[in-house]
A and B are shown apart, each in its own frame.
Chain A
Amino acid sequence: MKEILSLSNVTVDYNRNGNIVRAVAGVDLTLKSGEILGLVGESGCGKSTLGKAIVGILQPSQGEVVFDGQTVKKLTRGQRPNHFRNLQMIFQDPYGSLNPRRKIGIQIADGLLVAGVPKDKALARAEELLEKVGLPRAAVFRFPHQFSGGQRQRISIARALAASPTVIIADEPISALDTSSQAQVANLLVSLVEEFNMGMIFVSHDLSIVRRISDRVAVMYLGKIVEVGTVDQIWNNPSHPYTKALISAIPHADGTSFMPKDLPGDVPNPLNPPNGCRFHPRCPLKKSECEDNEPKLVKLSDDRSVACILQKAGTPPNPILIN
């Protein structure tokens, strides 16, 4: 599998009344074709901001996003280089991301029209795409309000597919949907990734869905990646205390009255992040050096990466023991 997307030291700052809020603080990440990378973390950790920076909705203040050999630049009013048409995004809220006053067909065809495809051909392609995502062809003549949330999210997916993307950034694509539609839309995304050999970054706070559909998982905390590994590594043998805490907090729906463990405290304010390791104020395994030294993301011998002083580069992961 070839590497299609790579991020190096991506940093995103928001300016809030003159204060600089560093929402993403230096992220290194890669994505291969045909791979689904789950991006998880608590709300406020910067996962959505990172997603927006990858497609160029936000401009990183440092670092760069390289897509298929070229650096992604911020979206402007002018035309975007054709190269980046293959990098698409799906948003969380299918009610807000579709224009309520325009017909579905023309909204899907927009991207093709910009690329110079004649209108009749673009609309015909829109019909095909609707069929692909499991909606009737006649939907091109309807408006968004005539569809349910799950159907609207399918329309958003069809719109993203119109550009024949090689990478899709899906920002919480199923969390606004009903239980019944969640599984159906997730299944659709998985089958599309397989069919078109796309790469997908699946941003979600629903850890159980991420576990099921992802190949690799990146865990984010306060703007930084703390651990990246395969689903099996993250779930069964986490090597960062935060990953461990996150996994232990998931309730088990098995009727055994298993009590999930909470992680006391809140994600700190990114305006004023803690010194040293950003997780140390909440970490049950904190040592004194964690307060001053910020751990670097290092690769362990089992090919995962983790940023914690308990782990040493090139060695097998030390088990994280929290009672």
Chain B
Amino acid sequence: MDLLTVKDLTVTLATGSGDAQAVRNLSFTVGLGEILGIAGESGSGKTMTALSLLGLLPYKGRATGSINFNGREILTSTKREYRDLRGREIAMIFQDPMTSLHPMLTIEVQLTEHLIHHRKVSKEAARRSALELLSIVKIPDPAAALTAHPTQFSGGMRQRIAIAIALACEPKLLIADEPTTALDVTVQAGILKLLHQLRKDKNLSVMVITHDLGVLSSLTDRIMIMYAGSEVESGPTSDILQRSHHPYTKGLIAALPGKVKAASKNLTSIEGMPPELGNFPSGCAFHPRCSFTIDACKKELPKKVEINGEHRIFCPVNPFSKSGKGIE
């Protein structure tokens, strides 16, 4: 059964020049114990999607559609209901563990805070859980760590602490927004291993948001690629990275620098820049940068094309139309 089912999610933000849609008609699911990756460049709407699940949209931000979490509709929740949901059932970790942790409070205060709030446990019981959480995320000497402040830890250790805080109330879904982008590769590998372990031990569902396809490859079961607020392609990780069909996904993969050592030093890149919020092109938003654009792309919204199983793309140029070979 799916833990999270999002249908036709549209997020509207207020900008200086009127309302703008940051997420447009997005539908996706996250299964129990599944790790879903959401990839896209900045401005593609991945973070807004995550924030709408938590009721944390910026001032004057509105979300419409449907978000079904664990069998109930949460998009219509009141502020109070969201407050009970956040941290307890859906938890989030952020990119920069330096700014997401409070620099003046000890780890103990930050780690026991929502246990005491949500679970109404005593301070001593919360302290015992905190010690256990710190050993789950492999912080050496948990007892000493409890009395320390965030500045006394390195970036990787801080991110582990942020994960421990997120896990405190045993949430069913963990949202990780660029969890390793600020870290070194050697430390990143440790965090990826930890997230894998947590999924295995606790059947935790994870939604990872990142632009790093390498991270998604080693971590996720499925990937959804977003562009200008909409899904362009989604499917099992191996299908997306080995047999992608959408021109944008293909472009992203071709632009990976490490893939093969080519004779030329030049990196492949997708021409142009992603569109800005409130200024998305008509029809398929990718059409100005796409090399397969036909007239229909400029007018019609892209239709869903099922490739096989769960693998689908949104592209007006039906890649299976004439040649039957897809876009090369």
| Residues of chain A at the chain B interface (Cβ within 8 Å) | 36, 42-43, 148, 150, 178-184, 186-187, 190-191, 205, 207-209, 211-213, 231-232, 235, 245-246, 249-264, 266-267
A268→B262 CA distance, assembly (Å): 36
Contacting A at CB under 8 A, from B180-217, are 184-190, 192-193, 196, 211-217
| Contact (A250, B217) CB under 8 Å given A180-B274, A208-B257 | no
Q: Are B238 and A259 in contact (CB under 8 A)?
A: no
Shortest distance between the CB of B260 and any CB in chain A (Å): 10
Q: Let me know if A205 and B184 touch, CB within 8 A.
A: yes
Q: Is B156 an interface residue (CB 8 A)?
A: yes
Question: In the complex, what residue of chain B is closest to A215 when comparing beta carbons?
Answer: B265
> Is A187 a contact partner of B185 (Cβ separation < 8 A)?
no
User: Which one, A43, A178, A232, A258, contacts B42 given CB within 8 A?
Assistant: A178
Q: How far is the CB of A1 from chain B (nearest CB, A)?
A: 16
CB-CB < 8 A to B185: which residues of A?
Answer: 205, 207, 246, 249-251, 260
> Once the chains are docked, how many angstroms separate the CA of A218 from the CA of B242?
32
Nearest chain-A residue to B154 (Cβ)?
A: A266
Shortest CB-to-CB span from B280 to chain A, Å, is: 16
CB distance from A42 to the nearest CB of B (A): 4
Assess the B265–A183 pair: CB atoms within 8 A: no
| Complex Cα spacing A231 to B229, Å | 38
Encode contact with A along B144-184: 1 for CB under 8 Å, 0 otherwise.
00000000001111000000000000000000000000001
Question: Which residues of B are at the interface with A, using a C-beta cutoff of 8 A?
Answer: 41-42, 154-157, 184-190, 192-193, 196, 211-218, 237-242, 252-253, 255-259, 261-262, 265-270, 272-274
Task: Report A-chain residues with C-beta under 8 Å of the C-beta of B213.
Answer: 253
Q: How far is the CA of A42 from the CA of B269 in the complex (A)?
A: 27
Q: Which residue of B lies closest to A205 (CB)?
A: B184
Listed A/B pairs (18) with beta-carbon separation below 8 Å:
A42-B187, A179-B252, A180-B273, A183-B268, A187-B266, A191-B266, A208-B257, A211-B257, A246-B185, A249-B189, A250-B185, A250-B214, A257-B238, A260-B185, A262-B193, A263-B186, A263-B189, A263-B190
4 further interface pairs, Cβ-Cβ under 8 Å (given A212-B265, A255-B217, A255-B241): A183-B255, A246-B185, A250-B214, A251-B217
Contact A190 B266 (CB under 8 A): yes
Choose among B188, B259, B265, B270 the residue that contacts A180 (Cβ–Cβ < 8 A).
B270
- Complex interface: chain A residues within 8 A of B187 (CB): 42, 262-263, 266
Minimal Cβ-Cβ distance residue in B for A267: B154
Given known pairs A42-B184, A43-B184, A254-B241, the reply for A212 and B257 (CB within 8 Å) is yes
| Given contacts A43-B155, A178-B41, A255-B241, A260 and B270 within 8 Å (CB-CB) | no
Determine whether the beta carbon of B267 is less than 8 Å from that of A254: no
Do A255 and B274 touch across chains, with their CB atoms under 8 A apart?
no
Can you name the residue of chain A whose Cβ is closest to the Cβ of B184?
A42
Q: How far is the CB of B307 from the nearest CB of chain A, in Å?
A: 15
B273 touches A150 (CB 8 A): yes
Q: Is A148 touching B273 in the complex (CB atoms < 8 A)? A: yes
Contact of B258 among A181, A190, A208, A262 (CB under 8 A): A208
